[in-house]
Structure 1
Amino acid sequence: MPRVGKPSMVQFSHRSLYFPALFLPTASQALDPPDSACRCPRLAHQVAGFQMAEDSSIDQERHDMTSENERIALTMLSGSFEYDSEDSLTVLLGYLKENAPAVDATLIAYQSEDDNPSLELLEEETDVLLVFTRRLNTDGAELERFKSYCDRGGAVVGIRTASHAYQNWLPFDGEVLGGNYDGHYGSGMTARVEIAEGAREHPILTEVLPFGSHGSLYRNTPISASASLLLTGRTEEHFEPVAWTRTDGGGRVFYTSLGHQKDFWELDFLRLIENAVLWAAASKA
């Protein structure tokens, strides 16, 4: 039976999180959360209630990327079923609620590749669009709303399979994200995620340290010449760009090929996405 009680300090990689001890009798077992934690929406909602351990050294720069009283309307698109995106984004929602209270997030969750929910929010009520979908068959009016948002320079944050978000608009990867997706290497190897040369001072990397990613490396070399590399991923045999920024039509764009289910248990990954949302939102001014 899951055990819900007083939040416990649990170690994830080299960083620490507070989160309710939901399913683990000992802290040491939390190093490798069971796969069921990624597939159970109820559990994901509970896990989303974790809080960061207090750290007086946290740099306030990432919270200063937007003014104190400014609200950010974040629309999140979930539809990457291979990576349980709805559960993972639920964890992210809980994290943002605790750590980025200026963000008002709305999650639009596709239920199948052929689902066609309304994207009307993209017309007027979205400051930042977060995309975590995979090869959806969306077409017609809703795909046009998505394209129109990008065409007018809307701010975009893309996660992992966003590089092939919509089967009927695969050029989104190169034209908007600045990527060059060409499949991926084999799974089963943890990639070491490191800060790219010259990128350490970028606000998206504030309080983000190198960490291990649990998904296969995507082949993206070379990325667009207009992109600025932030993070690289390395295994024993391969080396690839894994996070970068660019501007598209005046709007700020961030993309990361990371986003495996277990990446959402890494504090540094969650901070990376939080910082990316705040950075992208600055373009709305």
Structure 2
Amino acid sequence: MTRMLVFTRTAGYRHESLPAAVAAIEAFPGVRVVHSEDPVALHDLSQYDVVMFLSTTEDVLDPRGRSSLRSFVLGGGGFVGVHSAAGTELSDPWYGELLGARFAGHPDGVQQATLFDREGQPWKFTDEWYGFTEVRDDLEILLTVDEETYEPGLYAMAGPHPQAWRRPVGAGRSWYTALGHTSEAWADPAFLDHVRAGIAYAARD
């Protein structure tokens, strides 16, 4: 059984999909979920295998929580970031290293686009399509989005345009997906499999 803290605190934009997302994750088999929006929940992570930042926005941790999360991951814990977790803790340089990139923005609205996995298999999905800055060169890219299949506007990226990745961080593991903006995503079996795979990677399961 994977023990996971799902943290959904927002200090900026708040996604309407959060209730559907939390309910879907709580229904995952083999995962015991504690859901919180209290920064104090990050002060002691010893009871967890994985911490998930689920559509968090802006600065959501206090200094003790930042230190605790860093120690947790570097010591072997797992981190999962979903969607606007990339636009979180922008004042903390280490969080940017943990996540692997920083949110740059996205074109207005949701659009259908084609994603490709590591084997080159296509997947059509409707979401906001994030652009990123400060992308680390040690990421294992899991999904890219084909910019020819939607209108990236100001948020096109040179080379492959990543949407999900993973990497070891210290003795721990970090996994991130930019998908998950809509409530409908959280009823999509393929997307739910994607998130479950991320939790399993972070938990070394």
TM-score by length of 2: 0.80
| Corresponding residue number in structure 2 for 1:88 | 20
Pair 1:177-2:177 in alignment: no
- 8 Å contact 1:79–1:86 — kept in the other structure? no
CA RMSD of aligned residues (A): 2.5
Structure 2 distance, partners of 1:85, 1:136, is 20
Pair 1:78-2:8 in alignment: yes
| Corresponding residue number in structure 2 for 1:30 | none
Structure 1 distance, partners of 2:34, 2:116, is 31
Structure 2 distance, partners of 1:140, 1:91, is 29
Q: Deviations over 1:67-92 (max 9, x none)?
A: xxxx2111111124521364033232
Bigger relative contact order, structure 1 or 2 (CA pairs below 8 A, ≥6 apart): 2
Offset at 1:241?
Answer: 0.9
2:84 alignment partner AA: T
Structure 2 distance, partners of 1:87, 1:276, is 20
- 8 Å contact 1:213–1:260 — kept in the other structure? no
Pair 1:119-2:39 in alignment: no
Structure 1 distance, partners of 2:53, 2:60, is 15
Structure 2 distance, partners of 1:166, 1:172, is 6
Structure 1 distance, partners of 2:170, 2:65, is 21
Structure 2 distance, partners of 1:154, 1:85, is 27
Task: Name the SS for the 1:83 alignment partner.
Answer: coil
Offset at 1:265?
Answer: 2.2
Q: Which runs of 4+ in 1 moved over 6 A?
A: none
Task: Name the SS for the 2:40 alignment partner.
Answer: coil
Q: How many residues align?
A: 192
| Corresponding residue number in structure 2 for 1:280 | 202
Offset at 1:145?
Answer: 1.9
- 8 Å contact 2:44–2:68 — kept in the other structure? no
- 8 Å contact 2:51–2:79 — kept in the other structure? yes
- 8 Å contact 2:77–2:202 — kept in the other structure? no
Gaps of 5+ in 1: 1-70, 111-115, 201-208
Structure 1 distance, partners of 2:106, 2:9, is 19
Q: Structure 1 residues 137 and 245, CA, compared in 2 at 3 Å: closer, same or farther?
A: closer
- 8 Å contact 1:160–1:256 — kept in the other structure? yes
Q: Structure 1 residues 258 and 223, CA, compared in 2 at 3 Å: closer, same or farther?
A: same
Structure 1 distance, partners of 2:68, 2:195, is 24
- 8 Å contact 2:73–2:171 — kept in the other structure? no
Task: Name the SS for the 1:190 alignment partner.
Answer: strand
Q: Deviations over 1:95-120 (max 9, x none)?
A: 30xxx2x221111135xxxxx43324
